[in-house]
């Protein structure tokens, strides 16, 4: 009887929420707070949705490589999360994803700007990616499917979704591509 009461209690329900949901939710709240303060401090950054590739075309080759690799990583990663696991081309797509994630992470070290000319906390995700990718590969080679899935899914959400979200902060390149006038 106590077990049923625990499952129905708010704390019991919260315990069933996957960790990635908590991570994305907390990152979203932080993103909204930071965006609010940036927009409040810079009234000239009036967000109006429109798409213009001019800011990307005017950016450095390192930035263009980074954006292209990130878009490829995000697309393949989302597909691999949705597709049935172990399908015939999973391994091929996985290697393309690992390669594009590596290019995305390495190219990020040639980019600064969020904190002036120094690295930002987002670069820690790039370092984490470069360390974590070999662990995900090693896990599947050892037939540790759950560990592989957890590592690669964490890599996708941390390096692609969360870091990608912060690339849309007001004043950054992705902001200018989609919102600046």
Q: Provide the residue-wise pLDDT of the chain in tens; the chain has 181 residues.
A: 555 554 566 666 667 878 778 888 998 999 999 999 999 998 888 888 889 999 999 999 999 999 999 999 999 999 999 998 888 899 999 999 999 999 999 999 888 765 566 777 778 888 999 999 999 999 999 999 999 999 999 999 888 998 889 888 888 889 889 987 6
Q: How many domains does the chain have?
A: 1
Is residue 170 within 8 Å of 38, Cβ to Cβ? yes
DSSP annotation string for 127-145: HHHHHHHHHHHHHHHTT-H
Give backbone dihedrals phi and psi of 9, rounded to 5 degrees, phi first: -70, 155
Distance CA 7, CA 136 (A): 33
* Residue 130, CA distances (Å) to 107, 150, 151 in order: 12, 16, 12
**What is the domain extent for residue 78?**
2-178
């Amino acid at each position: 009887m106590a077990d049923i009461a625990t499952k129905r209690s708010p704390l019991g329900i919260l315990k069933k929420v996957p960790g990635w949901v908590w991570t994305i939710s907390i990152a979203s709240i932080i993103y909204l707070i930071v965006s609010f303060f940036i927009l409040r401090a810079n009234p000239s950054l009036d967000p109006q949705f429109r798409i213009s590739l001019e800011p990307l075309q005017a950016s450095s080759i390192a930035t263009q490589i980074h954006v292209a690799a990130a878009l490829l990583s995000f697309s393949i990663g989302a597909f691999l999360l949705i597709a049935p696991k172990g399908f015939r081309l999973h391994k091929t797509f996985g290697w393309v994803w690992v390669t594009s994630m590596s290019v995305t992470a390495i190219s990020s070290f040639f980019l600064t700007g969020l904190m002036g000319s120094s690295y930002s906390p987002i670069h820690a995700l790039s370092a984490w990616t470069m360390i974590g990718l070999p662990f995900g590969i090693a896990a599947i080679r050892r037939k540790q499917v759950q560990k592989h899935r957890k590592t690669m899914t964490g890599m996708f959400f941390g390096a692609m979704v969360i870091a990608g979200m912060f690339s849309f902060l007001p004043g950054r390149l992705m902001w200018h591509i989609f919102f600046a006038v």
